[in-house]
């Protein structure tokens, strides 16, 4: 009995001891934890059509401790981004913790089901990006696409954004036809791609009445363009469509006309189809897009862009991206012909685009025809007629408001043109005013140059030497606006490092960086949609 009394007193004293203080994280209010979690779920604006980052944060949070799990489960907004990117139809190891695969829709897509349930009634963002798996037995079949669409259909009224990119055209078509048969009243962002350029059918566009809130659309699959009725779009992109599925210029003009007063960004990467006579449209009857500030054009034939500019006007343009879709090494025996067409295109742009108000410009794989550049003194004193100036020099002289310039694999003519004085400026009779006229690109602040092929990076080194002579002339008082850059970034191949070190650091800007990469430059998929 005495031993029992001692034991009871010991247990009583132990129970009366104060419990250890909670860890600091447990003392954080749930409301603050939710704000921290939501801040950590930031999604970058730029989206990659081929790769989607899985939203694993809610699951990771749930495994930290009971408090974090309770907060995560009770916060629906953490579960609103649903990424479906499995290349196989069976759950991978990470998903086996949610449920074992059985013949039920939710068990084929357990994470999708979990996110749909825990997101409550909040708007959701769904990204379906499924690449071809390495083993044929793991390929999707149409019944798997039906299962996924059955899972999503009860929630399509909550869709805020939707991206579809599937390796199987039949699965893509099944998802398309089943999902877009329902009403999506709050859908704002729609992106649809296809991994392969081979198509078997042409799809009908979503009914505009079923998507009344649609603002952003990226189209990269063949559609019936005559059925396009979506209006009030703010951004529209046609990305990498095969030639025979592209809209004609007239079809494109009619598509743009529906949103002519609301469009802010237009992107066309590819070509225009030629089906029958397009007719001719004089510039005074071009379609006006008064609010488009960002224009991104990728082309295989420069004449396609000339046709577009003869039909559509962009009076408010601020940012321009021009991409030669052939890449850096695709000229071959047609090099001279392509370069001639490129010069004709930019000569047209000088007359039809408001280049003087553009502040942001990207030129990617642009190569002009070979032209004789006049002597500096001839340009300074106005001895050269405008029609005798090379096209790249006229282009650079037109960009008087440009602040950001990105050059990817530039040719020698483009770089040389950047080191000339502005031609045809109003001059007084005094010699001093002539000798102190501004250089081209007087407002340029940020310059980025990427040149990874041997021929192109040698042009960059020549440009550095010439730029130094311009800088010395400016400091000596020969020009009143010098090439004083705020930021200069060069991306060159590794074998250029020795030559750059021999020349010395460029010392052409307040902030300078040089990065070196191995190998030669390759054409990069340019289906990137960034807000500039």
Read off the pLDDT of residues 17-28 as tens digits, 9 standing for 90 and up: 445 555 666 666
Q: Say if CB 395 and CB 417 are below 8 A apart.
A: yes
pLDDT for residue 487: 93
User: How does the average pLDDT of the chain come out, rounded?
Assistant: 77
| DSSP-derived 3-state class of residue 446 | strand
Q: How would residue 57 be classed by pLDDT, with cut points 50, 70 and 90?
A: confident
Q: Does the structure show a pLDDT above 70 at 376?
A: no
Q: Does the structure show a pLDDT above 70 at 15?
A: no
What is the bridge-based pairing of β-strands 319-324 and 294-299? parallel
pLDDT for residue 147: 87
DSSP string, 402-432: --EEEEES--HHHHHHTTSBPTT----SSHH
CA distance 373 to 391: 10
CA distance 155 to 117: 10
Q: Does domain 318-423+436-527 have CATH number 3.80.10?
A: yes
- Averaged pLDDT, 87-103: 38
Which residues in 79-234 belong to E strands, given as ranges? 81-84, 124-130, 159-166, 189-194, 216-219
Domain span(s) for CATH 3.80.10 in the chain:
318-423+436-527
Q: Does the structure show a pLDDT above 50 at 234?
A: yes
Q: Which residues contact 410 (CB under 8 A, 6 or more apart)?
A: 363, 366, 449, 451, 456, 459, 460
- Averaged pLDDT, 122-130: 89
Q: Does the structure show a pLDDT above 80 at 275?
A: no
- Averaged pLDDT, 122-144: 75
- Averaged pLDDT, 113-117: 90
pLDDT in tens, 432-475: 444 455 778 989 999 999 998 877 888 898 888 888 877 776 66
Q: How would residue 377 be classed by pLDDT, with cut points 50, 70 and 90?
A: low
Largest Cα–Cα separation, the chain:
121
CA distance 382 to 427: 9
Range of lowest pLDDT (98-107, 166-175, 336-345, 364-373) = 98-107
Percent of the chain surpassing pLDDT 70 = 70
Report the 10 Å Cβ neighbour count for 482.
17
Q: Roughly how many angstroms between the first and final C-alpha of the chain, as a whole number? A: 84
Report the 10 Å Cβ neighbour count for 121.
9
- Averaged pLDDT, 248-254: 88
Q: Say if CB 203 and CB 176 are below 8 A apart.
A: yes
Q: Does the structure show a pLDDT above 90 at 392?
A: yes
Residue among 155, 178, 262 at smallest CA distance from 214: 262
Phi, psi of 510 (to 5 degrees): -65, -40
Range of lowest pLDDT (64-68, 223-227, 326-330) = 326-330
Which residues in 257-352 belong to E strands, given as ranges? 265-270, 287-288, 294-299, 312-313, 319-324
CA distance 435 to 35: 60
- Identify the DSSP state of 451: -
Tokens linked to 399 = 């960009």
CA distance 183 to 158: 10
CA distance 113 to 260: 40
DSSP string, 481-496: S---EEEEEEEEEGGG
CA atoms lying within 13 Å on the CB side of residue 255: 25
What is the bridge-based pairing of β-strands 294-299 and 265-270? parallel
pLDDT for residue 350: 95
pLDDT for residue 12: 54
pTM value is 0.80
pLDDT for residue 106: 47
pLDDT for residue 481: 52
Q: Does the structure show a pLDDT above 70 at 104?
A: no
Higher-pLDDT residue of 337, 346: 346
Residue among 279, 220, 218 at smallest CA distance from 253: 279
- Averaged pLDDT, 335-339: 81
**How far, in Å, are 379, 500, 503 from residue 462 at the CA level?**
21, 11, 10
Q: How would residue 98 be classed by pLDDT, with cut points 50, 70 and 90?
A: very low
pLDDT for residue 274: 59
pLDDT for residue 90: 46
What angle separates helix 30-40 from helix 66-73, to the nearest 10 degrees? 70
Residue among 361, 487, 479 at smallest CA distance from 419: 479
Q: Does the structure show a pLDDT above 80 at 517?
A: yes
Q: Does the structure show a pLDDT above 70 at 53?
A: no
| 175-186 b/e (C-beta count within 10 Å ≥ 16 → b) | bbebbbeeebeb
| DSSP-derived 3-state class of residue 274 | coil
Q: Say if CB 198 and CB 179 are below 8 A apart.
A: no
pLDDT for residue 358: 97
Residue among 334, 331, 390 at smallest CA distance from 365: 331
Tokens linked to 201 = 């059918």
């Amino acid at each position: 009995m005495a031993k029992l009394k001692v034991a009871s007193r010991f247990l009583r004293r132990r129970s009366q001891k104060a419990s250890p203080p909670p860890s600091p994280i447990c003392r954080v209010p749930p409301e603050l934890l939710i704000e921290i979690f939501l801040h950590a779920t930031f999604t970058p604006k730029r989206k990659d059509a081929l790769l989607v980052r899985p939203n694993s944060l809610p699951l990771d949070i749930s495994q930290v401790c009971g408090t974090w799990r309770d907060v995560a489960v009770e916060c629906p907004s953490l579960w609103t981004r649903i990424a479906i990117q499995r290349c196989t139809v069976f759950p991978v190891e990470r998903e086996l913790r949610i449920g074992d695969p059985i013949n039920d829709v939710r068990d084929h897509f357990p994470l999708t089901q979990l996110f749909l349930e825990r997101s409550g009634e909040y708007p959701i963002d769904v990204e379906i990006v499924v690449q071809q798996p390495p083993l044929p037995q793991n390929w999707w079949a149409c019944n798997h696409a039906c299962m996924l669409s059955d899972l999503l259909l009860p929630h399509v009224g909550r869709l805020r954004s939707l991206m579809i990119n599937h390796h199987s055209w039949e699965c893509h078509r099944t998802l398309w036809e089943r999902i877009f048969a329902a009403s999506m009243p709050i859908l704002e962002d729609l992106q649809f791609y296809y991994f392969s350029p081979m198509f078997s059918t042409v799809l009908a566009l979503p009914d505009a009445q079923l998507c009344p809130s649609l603002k952003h659309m990226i189209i990269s699959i063949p559609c019936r363009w005559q059925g396009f009725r979506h209006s009030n779009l703010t951004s529209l992109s046609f990305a990498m469509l095969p030639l025979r599925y592209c809209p004609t210029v007239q079809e494109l003009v009619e598509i743009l006309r529906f949103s002519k007063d609301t469009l802010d960004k237009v992107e066309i990467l590819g070509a225009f189809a030629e089906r029958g006579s397009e007719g001719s449209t004089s510039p005074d009857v071009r379609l006006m897009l008064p609010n488009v500030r960002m224009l991104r054009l990728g082309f295989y034939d420069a004449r396609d862009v000339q046709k577009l500019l003869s039909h559509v006007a962009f009076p408010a343009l601020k940012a321009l991206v021009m991409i030669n879709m052939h890449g850096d090494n695709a000229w071959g025996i047609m090099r001279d012909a392509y370069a001639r067409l490129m010069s004709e295109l930019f000569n047209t742009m000088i007359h039809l685009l408001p280049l003087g108000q553009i502040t942001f410009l990207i030129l990617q794989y642009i190569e002009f025809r070979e032209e004789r550049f006049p002597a500096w003194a001839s340009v300074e004193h106005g001895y050269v007629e405008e029609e005798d100036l090379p096209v790249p020099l006229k282009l650079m002289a037109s960009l008087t408001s440009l602040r950001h310039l990105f050059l990817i694999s530039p040719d020698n003519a483009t770089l040389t043109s950047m080191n000339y004085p502005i031609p045809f400026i109003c001059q007084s009779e005094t010699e001093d005013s002539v000798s102190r006229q501004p250089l081209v690109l007087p407002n340029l602040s940020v310059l980025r140059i990427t040149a990874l092929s041997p021929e192109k990076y040698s042009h960059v080194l020549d440009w550095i030497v010439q730029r130094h002579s311009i800088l010395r002339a400016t400091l000596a008082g020969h020009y009143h606006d010098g090439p004083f850059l705020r930021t200069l970034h060069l991306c060159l191949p590794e074998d250029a490092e020795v030559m750059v070190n021999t020349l010395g650091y460029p010392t052409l800007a307040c902030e300078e960086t040089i990065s070196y990469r191995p190998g030669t430059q390759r054409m990069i998929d340019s289906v990137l949609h960034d807000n500039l």
